[in-house]
Amino acid sequence: MFKTIKAIGTDAAANPLTTFSIKRRGLQDNDVEMDILYCGICHSDLHQACCLIVK
């Protein structure tokens, strides 16, 4: 069984971050499921995703 979840990402370095849905497989015996309440974005991730150049 698959589960649809919300994700944030990009498909190319020059594209902006967007919200989209992805399908995840069901939990198996050796898996752990967690609720993530808060999440930060690493500065280096923003540079990789958005090709930011600070002038």
Q: Are 27 and 3 in contact (CB under 8 A)?
A: no
Cβ burial of 50 (10 Å; 0-12, 13-18, 19+) is middle
Q: Is 6 helix (H, G, I), strand (E, B) or coil?
A: strand
Tens digit of each residue's pLDDT (9 = 90 or more) over 26-51: 999 999 989 888 877 777 777 766 66
What is the sign of the dihedral through the CA atoms of 24, 29, 30 and 33? positive
Tokens matching residue 15? 């594209």
Residue 36, pLDDT score: 85
Question: What pTM value is reported for the model?
Answer: 0.50
Tokens matching residue 31? 């898996």
Instruction: Decide which of 22 and 44 is more confident.
Output: 22
